[in-house]
Amino acid sequence: MADIVLKRMVTDLAKIDGLLESIVTSKDGVVLAEHVDRDPDGFGALCTFAGSIGEQVCTDMDLGELSDVVVSGAGSKILTVPHDDYFIGAGIDGTASVAIVEKEIRTVLRGI
């Protein structure tokens, strides 16, 4: 995807209710676009790691293609969604529904 398309994607993702930040990384962890309040390289590395581990578990356990990975903490959640050759990472408010935010993310991805 062209750089401008990825930047538009994170701008569109930022409009999702409950989504606090978003990042797009290559599958090897290079940050391609971001809208985050923290260190983008660190957040990108965490999302890439979660996505990569998820893909490996799905392969090893014969679960089929990875849909998503969610890490839940006391105050917020991190969602990683694979898309083509990228991982989409999203910081989500702790009170927001991950399922609803993921549905909205996939709506944005379909429009790209």
Of 28, 17, 3, the C-alpha closest to 90 is: 17
* Predicted pLDDT at 45: 97
Give every CB contact of residue 96 below 8 A, 6+ residues apart in sequence.
Answer: 17, 18, 19, 77
Question: What pTM value is reported for the model?
Answer: 0.93
Q: List the domains of the chain with CATH numbers.
A: 3-110 (3.30.450.30)
Per DSSP, what are the bridge partners of residue 81?
88
pLDDT tens, position by position, 49-96: 999 999 999 999 999 999 999 999 999 999 999 999 999 999 999 999
Residue 34 token pair? 């971001």
pLDDT-based confidence at residue 1 (cuts at 50, 70, 90): low
Report residue 60 CA to chain centroid gap: 22
